[in-house]
């Protein structure tokens, strides 16, 4: 024990030898959201041995949950991949544009009908415009007949309040919401837009939440 | 320093000692052996340490298929990874490829772009002996236990993950 610390203790100031540890901060409470779309999604994947694609950031929680159900998990953080600097190129007129060809060459490459279910979260709201349609087309090609896509869409653009968030499966009824990278909301899809995006699907089921999010379960 | 070819790390049996290849090392070829390995350099090829532990250091960049008993990832791996017991991906680790293992530990911040396939140890051993990593379609056996620590670290399996210190040698 240093001399200064010893002297401080004599005068009733400073920590005692047993109080040197920094108190561990209490874990922040989880921000949970009940998800009707997730309930139906987990019902659709209740047979073990399926292939599930998660388009959000790598989530230990989601991997644990899905592998715990006996599934194989594909993980592809499509938003982070789209944000890579090398994909921000210039067109013939020198205007900035997105290198879609390169993006599709390295991402979302799945055999047709190889995926049983997709967790899209709010990814489609934040993706650069050129990627949205090609991504959905690839997903629908990769999905097996009867396969499902769960996606969340913002009802409105609330400016800086509309932050990109990570969604982690807490249980079959709820997701935990965590802050994500600082991506900017690119658009707000209305119901008609979503239906057009997934045209060719067998069904599009909408679930309205009390917050700013609309959930959609698409079945191929 | 760079090395091209096939290197075998001698050792009569699996030991607790580790052989270290630091960040100044570049290898193009195949590394196999019966000793633990700390690798923090660049590798194009493959690593086969079926009975031992491989620690991929924070500076490591691999384009390789990797097989070991335990694999701890702090760096970047492009390739398929097969672990007979455990794959442990730390915060700075990133894996692009297929992961086949019986137990998986993923820290918050780690990146996986590819597939996670949990299997029983016998199934993993059988696969690691096959010539190519084919697409797996058999049902995945559920792991025994899953825990998430408050800081987001996932551990799948009944045993605690192995903690292996990384030894990094200065540039040669």
Residues in A lying within 8 Å of B, measured between beta carbons:
27, 48-49, 57-58, 60-61, 63-64, 67-77, 81, 111, 114
C-beta separation of B146 from B154 below 8 A: yes
Q: Is the pLDDT of residue A132 over 90?
A: yes
B7 reaches A (C-beta below 8 A): no
**Bridge-based pairing state of the strands A72-75 and B111-118:** antiparallel
Give A172's pLDDT tier (boundaries 50, 70, 90): very high
Residue A23 falls within a domain, yes or no?
no
Q: What is the distance, to the nearest Å, from the Cα of residue A218 to the centroid of all Cα atoms in its chain?
A: 17
Tokens of B14: 């699996």
| Burial class of residue A11, CB neighbours in 10 A (0-12, 13-18, 19+) | exposed
Residue in B with minimal Cα distance to A78: B113
Residue A201 falls within a domain, yes or no?
yes
Give B11's pLDDT tier (boundaries 50, 70, 90): very low
Q: Is the pLDDT of residue A87 over 50?
A: yes
More confident residue, A28 or A154: A154
CA–CA distance, A18 with A5 (Å, rounded to integer): 13
The number of folded domains in chain B is 1
CATH code for the domain of A176 = 3.40.50.150
C-beta separation of A175 from A169 below 8 A: yes
CB contact under 8 A, B142 and A68: yes
**DSSP string over B155-166:** EESSSPPP----
Mutate to test the interface with B, among A29, A30, A58, A66 (most CBs of B within 10 A): A58
CB contact under 8 A, B140 and A70: yes
Interface TM-score (ipTM) > 0.95: no
B115 reaches A (C-beta below 8 A): yes
Residue B171 falls within a domain, yes or no?
no
CB contact under 8 A, B140 and A68: no
Residue B170 falls within a domain, yes or no?
no
B172 reaches A (C-beta below 8 A): no
Give the pTM.
0.78
Which tens digits make up the pLDDT trace of B56-109? Answer: 999 999 999 999 999 999 999 999 999 999 999 999 999 999 999 999 999 989
Residue A5 falls within a domain, yes or no?
no
Strands (E), chain B: 2-9, 18-21, 26-33, 36-39, 42-56, 61-73, 76-78, 81-89, 94-106, 111-118, 146-148, 154-156
Residue B115 falls within a domain, yes or no?
yes
CA–CA distance, A150 with A43 (Å, rounded to integer): 12
Give B131's pLDDT tier (boundaries 50, 70, 90): very low
Distance between A48 CA and the closest CA of chain B, angstroms: 6
User: What's the pLDDT score for residue B72?
Assistant: 97
Residue B110 falls within a domain, yes or no?
yes
Which tens digits make up the pLDDT trace of B95-106? Answer: 999 999 999 999
As a whole number, mean pLDDT of residues A152-175 equals 87
B134 CB neighbour count, 10 Å cutoff: 8
Mutate to test the interface with B, among A49, A62, A64, A74 (most CBs of B within 10 A): A64
Residue A10 falls within a domain, yes or no?
no
Give B137's pLDDT tier (boundaries 50, 70, 90): very low
Q: Which of B17-21, B41-45, B58-62, B104-108 bottoms out in mean pLDDT, i.e. has the lowest?
A: B17-21
User: What's the pLDDT score for residue A22?
Assistant: 55
B146 reaches A (C-beta below 8 A): yes
Return the H-helix or E-strand segment holding A214: strand A213-219
Residue A66 falls within a domain, yes or no?
yes
CA–CA distance, A112 with B156 (Å, rounded to integer): 31
Give A151's pLDDT tier (boundaries 50, 70, 90): very high
Which tens digits make up the pLDDT trace of A22-51? Answer: 555 556 678 899 999 999 999 999 999 999
User: What's the pLDDT score for residue A131?
Assistant: 93
Residue A13 falls within a domain, yes or no?
no
The number of folded domains in chain A is 1
User: What's the pLDDT score for residue A174?
Assistant: 94
Mean pLDDT of all residues in chain A? 87
Q: Which of A63-77, A138-152, B13-27 bottoms out in mean pLDDT, i.e. has the lowest?
A: B13-27
**Bridge-based pairing state of the strands B2-9 and A203-208:** unpaired
C-beta separation of B115 from B140 below 8 A: no
C-beta separation of B166 from B113 below 8 A: no
User: What's the pLDDT score for residue B144?
Assistant: 47
B87 reaches A (C-beta below 8 A): no
Per the structure, the complete domain to which residue A96 belongs is given by: 29-219
Of B136, B138, B150, the CB nearest to A27: B150
Residue A215 falls within a domain, yes or no?
yes
């Amino acid at each position: 024990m240093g001399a200064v610390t010893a002297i401080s203790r004599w005068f009733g100031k400073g920590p005692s030898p047993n109080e040197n540890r920094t108190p561990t901060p209490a874990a922040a409470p989880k921000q949970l959201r009940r998800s009707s779309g997730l309930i139906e999604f987990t019902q659709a994947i209740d047979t073990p041995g399926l292939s599930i694609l998660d388009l959000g950031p790598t989530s230990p929680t989601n991997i644990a949950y899905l592998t715990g159900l006996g599934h194989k998990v594909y993980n592809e953080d499509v938003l982070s991949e789209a944000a890579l600097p090398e994909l921000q190129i210039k067109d013939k007129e020198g205007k900035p544009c997105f290198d879609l060809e390169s993006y599709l060459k390295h991402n979302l490459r799945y055999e047709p009908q190889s995926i049983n279910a997709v967790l899209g979260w709010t990814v489609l709201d934040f993706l650069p415009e050129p990627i949205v349609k090609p991504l959905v087309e690839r997903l629908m090609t990769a999905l097996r007949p009867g396969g499902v896509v769960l996606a969340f869409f913002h009802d409105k653009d609330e400016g800086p309040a509309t932050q990109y968030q990570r969604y982690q499966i807490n249980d079959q009824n709820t997701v935990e919401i965590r802050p994500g990278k600082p991506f900017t909301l690119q658009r707000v899809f209305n119901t008609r837009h979503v239906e057009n995006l997934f045209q060719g699907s067998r069904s599009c089921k909408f679930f309205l939440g009390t917050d700013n999010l609309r959930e959609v379960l698409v079945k191929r | 320093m760079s090395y091209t070819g096939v290197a075998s790390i001698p050792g009569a049996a699996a030991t607790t000692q580790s052989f270290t290849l630091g960040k100044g090392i570049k290898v193009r070829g195949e590394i196999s052996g019966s000793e633990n390995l700390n690798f923090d350099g660049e590798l194009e090829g493959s690593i086969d340490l079926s009975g031992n532990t491989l620690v991929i250091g924070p500076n490591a960049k691999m384009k390789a298929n990797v097989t070991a008993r335990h694999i701890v990832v702090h760096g970047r791996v492009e390739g398929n990874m097969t672990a007979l017991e455990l794959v442990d991906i730390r915060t700075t680790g990133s894996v692009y490829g297929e992961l086949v293992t019986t137990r998986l530990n993923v820290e918050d911040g780690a990146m996986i772009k590819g597939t996670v396939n949990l299997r029983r140890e016998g199934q993993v051993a059988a696969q690691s002996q096959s010539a190519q990593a084919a697409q797996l379609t058999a049902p995945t056996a559920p792991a025994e236990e899953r825990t998430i620590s408050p800081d987001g670290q996932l551990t799948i399996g009944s045993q605690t993950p192995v903690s292996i210190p990384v030894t990094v040698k200065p540039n040669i």
